[in-house]
Amino acid sequence: MFESLYHGVIRFSRRQDAPYYLSLLSFVESFILPFPPPDVMLAPMAVAQPTRAMRFAALTLTFSVLGGLVGYLIGAFLFDLAAPYIGAWGYQPAFDTATGWFEQWGFWAVMVAGFSPVPYKIFTIAAGVLQLALIPFVLASIIGRGARFFLVAWCLARFGPAIERKLMRYIEQIGWAIVGALLIAIVVYSL
């Protein structure tokens, strides 16, 4: 079942209009609950068209950050409307984690969000709620999300389907390892 689904996604990834769907997914994923991360579309597109993988990563990054700005605005001005959905859809623990990270690390929390298993949309809304400075928020989003998307695209374009299966199997562990490394770097930098 999953093999046929995988091949269907690869076929879809070769369509001429696939970059528009990737852009749309990247945009709305940054602020609408629950939506899958853009990696689910970026990965097969990078495998299907390796010469365009970096372009796909750039599209994903651009629209993810633009969507992140919408999430920030929701947090800053419409949180009363969004709060019930955060709880109802089971995102309250992730939201609490994100706000705790912001209170402790600020700018660095957004960078970590790019690799964290906590959904980016939670960070964008929390950043708005906590009134994180907008320019640092955007810069950290570009660095964190950019590192993630370009790494995924490069690995899949370079190593193809063989690494894709391994990457998707261990993505949670890889994400936590990177978060751990970033946290260690932040602590060392702070000292």
pLDDT at 53 over 90: yes
Residue 7's identity, in one-letter code, is H
Distance CA 54, CA 43 (A): 11
The model's pLDDT over 163-177, given as tens digits with 9 standing for 90+, comes to 666 656 666 666 677
Report residue 1's pLDDT band, with 50, 70 and 90 as the boundaries. very low
User: Does pTM top 0.75 for this prediction?
Assistant: yes
The model's pLDDT over 4-26, given as tens digits with 9 standing for 90+, comes to 555 666 677 778 888 999 999 89
Q: What percent of the chain has pLDDT over 90?
A: 38
The model's pLDDT over 108-151, given as tens digits with 9 standing for 90+, comes to 888 887 777 678 888 899 999 999 899 999 999 999 999 999 99
CB count, 10 Å around CB of 174? 14
Distance CA 69, CA 135 (A): 11
